[in-house]
DNA sequence: TATATGTAGATGCAATTGCATTTATCGTCA
DNA sequence: TGACGATAAATGCAATTGCATCTACATATA
């Protein structure tokens, strides 16, 4: 094992510090982004995430189970979130031709508009909280380290 | 303004990527740590955070409003969490001599024991998710970048 | 075809969260 | 002292989440 590569039960102080800061920063950022949206009278971040995925899918729409794969929401959470989005007219549910159990979710014009207005606020938060605080080079470094955390190399 | 330092409303693609990965990693990690605790029949992460703060405070204990300062929990959240911790015998509430409105929260022996058992599981998650995936040098880099995100230099 | 097993999505119910407000005490100042 | 605004903490109520289960349809197997 390489020096500095720990794989034991007990975390090193270095790992604990990195974890603590990751937790702290992400919670603060989420809170601040949520506050900014609330302030603007817009729906919460979760709505943006889902609208984003559905919008990306385009005309073909998305099946709810695909949303579950792409996001970190639980099945019942997606089910109810979609119900709320539909009630607000932001998405529409269409029957699926070859699977009677399922449905296809498609974003509506109103949904696109809401997403656009949310992005104006959300994007500003990202710019202020992240874009304005690190250089491109630093952003690239942190992005790559965060990616390594999510996708560890097999020999680690 | 320095090259690479963006401060406009619209975030750069680099900032968006860093944000997205930060959100994704932190959510996944929280979820995995929560799952590990649940698996072990232990209380959720929030309990650990609070028990940790109270334990750190030692014999003197902590006032609820100090917990609010140290953590990111809302006032009503702390109030109810402490009620649950007290109901479980993990903390005790003591009246404050010179402030009739307040109380002092102190951890009990059972609380310390619960915290210890939670750490065995939580610490292992940290070691696996963070400690085993980056070298000390990399941990130091990401820690410092996360810290910069939380505490931007004034001239940024 | 009948039966069993699997998958998609919804839902009843309990627990938790969020919001707004309330209660009690403090500190200040006329 | 007495009135008044500020602070500490709790709480009623609505919304959301988590868990377990349920319904409906699909696919595999005999």
Query: How do residues A96-118 score in pLDDT, each as one tens digit?
Result: 989 999 999 999 999 999 999 99
Residue A65 has pLDDT above 80, yes or no: yes
Name the nearest CA neighbour of B48 among B123, B98, B146, B99: B123
Based on the number of CB atoms within 10 Å of its own CB, is A84 exposed (0-12), middle (13-18) or buried (19 or more)?
middle
Cross-chain residue pair B138–A124, CB shorter than 8 Å: no
CB-based contact, B133 to chain A, within 8 Å: yes
Cross-chain residue pair A152–B132, CB shorter than 8 Å: yes
Residue B111 has pLDDT above 70, yes or no: yes
pLDDT band at B91 (very low <50, low <70, confident <90, very high): very high
Per-residue tokens: B107 = 């951890």
Mean per-residue pLDDT for B50-60? 95
Alpha helices in B40-63 (DSSP H): 45-57
Mention every residue, 6+ apart, whose C-beta is less than 8 A from residue B53: B62, B67, B70, B71
How confident is the model at residue A153, as a pLDDT?
77
How confident is the model at residue B153, as a pLDDT?
78
**Residue A65 Cβ < 7 Å to strand C:** yes
pLDDT band at B113 (very low <50, low <70, confident <90, very high): very high
Mean per-residue pLDDT for B134-139? 97
Find which nucleotide's C1' atom is closest to B96's CA.
Answer: D8
Residue B7 has pLDDT above 90, yes or no: no
Cross-chain residue pair A11–B130, CB shorter than 8 Å: yes
If you average pLDDT over every residue of chain A, what do you get? 93
Length of chain B: 156
Q: Is the dihedral of CA B40, B46, B49, B53 positive or negative?
A: negative
Residue A3 has pLDDT above 90, yes or no: no
Q: What is the pTM of this model?
A: 0.92
Mean per-residue pLDDT for B98-103? 92
> Would you tell me how many other CB atoms lie within 10 Å of the CB of residue A97?
8
How confident is the model at residue B1, as a pLDDT?
56
Interatomic distance B74 CA / C11 C1' (Å): 30
If you average pLDDT over every residue of chain B, what do you get? 93
How confident is the model at residue B152, as a pLDDT?
87
Residue A8 has pLDDT above 90, yes or no: no
Residues with CB under 7 A from strand D: A 46, 74-77, 80-81, 84, 98-101; B 38, 63-65, 75-76, 78-80, 82-83, 93, 96, 99, 101-103
- Per the rule left: phi > 0, alpha: psi between -120 and 50, beta: everything else, B58 is left
In chain A, % of residues over pLDDT 90: 88
Instruction: Give the span between the Cα atoms of A107 and A85, in whole angstroms.
Output: 9
Residue A7 has pLDDT above 50, yes or no: no
How confident is the model at residue B45, as a pLDDT?
97
Residue B4 has pLDDT above 70, yes or no: no
Per-residue tokens: A112 = 């696109």
Interatomic distance B99 CA / D2 C1' (Å): 21
In chain B, % of residues over pLDDT 90: 88
Instruction: Give the span between the Cα atoms of A4 and A97, in whole angstroms.
Output: 55
């Amino acid at each position: 094992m390489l020096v500095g590569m720990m794989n034991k039960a007990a975390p090193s102080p270095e790992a604990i510090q990195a974890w603590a800061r990751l937790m702290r920063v992400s919670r603060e950022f989420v809170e601040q982004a949520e506050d900014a949206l609330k302030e603007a009278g817009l729906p919460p971040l979760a709505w943006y995430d889902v609208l984003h995925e559905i919008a990306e899918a385009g005309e073909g729409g998305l099946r709810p189970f695909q949303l579950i794969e792409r996001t970190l929401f639980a099945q019942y959470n997606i089910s109810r979130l979609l119900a709320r989005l539909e009630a607000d007219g932001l998405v529409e549910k269409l029957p699926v031709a070859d699977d009677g159990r399922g449905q296809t979710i498609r974003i509506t014009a109103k949904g696109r508009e809401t997403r656009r207005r949310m992005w104006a606020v959300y994007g500003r938060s990202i710019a202020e909280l992240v874009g304005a605080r690190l250089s491109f080079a630093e952003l690239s470094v942190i992005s790559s380290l965060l990616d390594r955390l999510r996708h560890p190399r097999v020999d680690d």
